[in-house]
């Protein structure tokens, strides 16, 4: 009788205790805009779904969208390091003083598409070649294809850029647009549409796949397809938080980071680029212009100057430019 009572008590105790024991560690991920954007579909969703599926009972990621945990992009690195979030989608161009070497990914004229830009960024991170990331574990290092110019004003040539107030993603892109005659301003992606709407801006550089994510496409009807700079994008985790996780949880997060995350991003983004281009071409209200050869040559000369100036800042910068060009060349040969 005593034995039966003890067995029942042990079973009851297990029922009470086991749910608590089985609770996974929950990590908070901050995303500054909507979960309906291409960036979310390409960079956030694949990683989160993969980790939560394999990490069931071990580790779980909860995503806070639309700026619920940090809406101001330039504040997000500190949000992660202070513990306000464990992981965040961070734009290096908004913190150039912290991510000083990411400027190599921003060099105009370096990449042809999202694949080249993303794989080069991922490779440089993997090689520990970029300053500013020591306190973070880089879940994903992504980059858009070269952003094109979208305006509410007629824009069919480089000459039409003169005096236009154009949103840019980063300081390198700002330098390029300024040399081409525009009046660039570095503004966060999710703050761009209101600035066009109130007349502060005439247009914006943005990759076609993301043209409609935050309303820029609704406000611009002239699309000048001059590729400028790629925009580096990152998914960063507090390294100390990762190091404190149980080995199994760490292994799961690492498994779906780096090259795996880059491959998913490229896959989703390439389809989004194709769909966006087709949508624009079918809309008769839009004017889509490919640059003339003369404009391409003039822009290439400007872009080359910017790359040379970046490399001339010191041996480390020169090495980054060399590494990026070598990696891109190898990608093209392999392709």
**Structural domain includes residue 38:** yes
Among 3-7, 115-119, 149-153, 321-325, which stretch is predicted with the lowest mean pLDDT?
A: 3-7
CA dihedral (124, 130, 132, 134) in degrees, to 10, reads 70
> Mean pLDDT score of the chain, rounded to an integer?
93
From the CB of residue 335, how many other CB atoms can be counted at a distance below 10 Å?
A: 7
196 with 98: CB under 8 angstroms?
no
Are residues 67 and 181 both part of a single domain?
Answer: no
Is the domain of 44 the same as that of 90? Answer: yes
Domains in the chain: how many in total? 2
Q: What is the CATH number of the domain that holds 224?
A: 3.40.190.10
Winning range, highest mean pLDDT, from 21-30, 251-260, 270-279: 251-260
Percent of the chain surpassing pLDDT 90: 91
CB 84 within 8 A of CB 70: yes
Check residue 23 and give its pLDDT: 87
Shared domain for 211 and 110, answered yes or no, is no
In a shared domain, residues 154 and 107:
no
Give pLDDT, residue 335: 75
The predicted structure's pLDDT at residue 8? 40
Q: 31 vs 37, 39, 68, 142, 286, CA distance in Å?
A: 11, 10, 8, 15, 31
Amino acid 230: pLDDT: 97
Low-confidence winner among 13-27, 168-182, 211-225, 264-278 (lowest mean pLDDT): 13-27
pLDDT above 50 (res 191): yes
| Same domain flag for 68 and 195 | no
Q: Is the pLDDT of residue 276 over 50?
A: yes
Residues 127 and 165 occupy one common structural domain: no
Give the pLDDT of residue 92: 96
In a domain, 98, yes or no: yes
Which CATH number is 246's domain given? Answer: 3.40.190.170
How does pLDDT run across 196-212, given as a tens digit for each residue? 999 999 999 999 999 99
- Token output for 185: 């301003």
**Structure tokens belonging to residue 158:** 């480089």
Spatial separation of the C-alpha atoms in residues 221 and 252, rounded to whole Å: 44
Does one domain contain both 142 and 159? Answer: no
- What tens digit of pLDDT does each residue of 53-80 get? 999 999 999 999 999 999 899 999 999 9
Residue 230: DSSP 8-state = -
Mean pLDDT of 183-197: 95
Beta bridge mates, 222: 151, 287
- Residue 12 pLDDT > 60: no
Instruction: Write out pLDDT tens, residues 23-55.
Output: 899 999 999 999 999 999 999 999 999 999 999
* Domain-located, residue 17: no
**In this structure, are 107 and 52 located in the same domain?**
yes
| Confidence band, pLDDT 50/70/90 cuts, at residue 14 | very low
Is 219 within the bounds of a domain?
Answer: yes
Question: Cα angle at 298 between 295 and 303, to 5 degrees?
Answer: 120
The confidence score (pLDDT) of residue 267 equals 98
Q: Would you give the distance in Å from CA 22 to the centre of its chain?
A: 34
pLDDT category of residue 21 using cuts at 50, 70 and 90: low
Look up the domain containing 300 and give its range: 148-229+285-310
| Paired strand residues for 178 | none
Q: Is residue 291 part of a domain?
A: yes
Confidence of residue 22 (pLDDT cuts 50, 70, 90): low
- Pair 159, 299 in one domain: yes
Q: What is the value of pTM for the model shown?
A: 0.90
pLDDT tens-digit readout, 84-123: 999 999 999 999 999 999 999 999 999 999 999 999 999 9
Cα–Cα nearest to 205, from 176, 234, 163, 179: 176
| Helices 45-54 + 259-282 axis angle, to 10 | 140
> Which residues, other chains included, contact 34 with Cβ-Cβ below 8 Å and sequence gap of 6+?
40, 65, 66, 213, 214
The string over 288-327, giving b where at least 16 C-beta atoms fall within 10 Å of a residue's C-beta and e elsewhere, is bbebeeebeebbeebbeebbeebbeeeeebeebbebbbeb
Establish if 317 belongs to a structural domain: no
Q: Tell me: do 104 and 119 sit in the same domain.
A: yes
Residues 130 and 217 in one domain: no
Q: Is residue 204 one of the residues assigned to a domain? A: yes
143 — alpha (psi -120 to 50), left (phi > 0) or beta? beta
> Is there a single domain that holds both residue 48 and residue 133?
yes
Quick one: average pLDDT of 172-179? 96
Domain annotation covers residue 335: no
Identify the band that residue 322 occupies on the pLDDT scale cut at 50, 70 and 90: very high
């Amino acid at each position: 009788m005593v034995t039966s009572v003890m067995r029942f008590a042990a079973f009851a105790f297990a029922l009470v205790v086991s749910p608590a024991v089985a609770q996974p560690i929950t990590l908070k991920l901050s995303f500054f805009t909507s979960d309906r954007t291409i960036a979310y579909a390409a960079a956030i969703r694949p990683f989160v779904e993969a980790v939560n599926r394999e990490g069931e009972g071990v580790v779980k990621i909860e995503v806070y969208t639309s700026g619920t945990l940090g809406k101001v992009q330039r504040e997000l690195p500190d949000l992660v390091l202070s513990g306000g979030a464990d992981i965040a989608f961070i734009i290096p161009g908004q913190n150039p003083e912290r991510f000083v070497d990411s400027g190599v990914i921003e060099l105009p004229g370096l990449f042809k598409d999202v694949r080249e830009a993303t794989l080069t960024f991922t490779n440089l991170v993997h090689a520990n070649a970029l300053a500013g990331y020591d306190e973070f574990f880089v879940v994903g290092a992504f980059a858009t294809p070269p952003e094109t110019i979208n305006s509410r004003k007629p824009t069919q040539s480089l000459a039409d850029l003169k005096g236009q107030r154009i949103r840019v993603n980063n300081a390198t892109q700002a330098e390029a647009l300024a040399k081409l005659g525009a009046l660039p301003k570095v503004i966060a992606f999710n703050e761009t549409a209101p600035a066009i709407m109130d007349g502060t801006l005439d247009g914006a550089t943005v990759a076609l796949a993301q043209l409609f994510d935050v309303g820029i496409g609704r406000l611009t009807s002239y699309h000048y397809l001059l590729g400028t700079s790629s925009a580096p994008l990152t998914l960063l985790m507090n390294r100390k938080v990762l190091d404190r996780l149980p080995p199994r949880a760490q292994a799961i997060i690492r498994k779906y980071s780096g090259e795996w995350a880059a491959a998913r991003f490229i896959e989703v983004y390439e389809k989004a680029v194709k769909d966006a281009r087709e949508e624009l071409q079918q809309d008769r209200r839009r004017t889509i212009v490919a640059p003339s050869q003369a404009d391409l040559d003039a822009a290439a000369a400007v872009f080359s100057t910017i790359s040379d100036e970046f490399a001339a800042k010191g041996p480390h910068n020169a090495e980054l430019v060399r590494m990026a060009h070598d990696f891109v060349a190898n990608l093209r040969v392999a392709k």
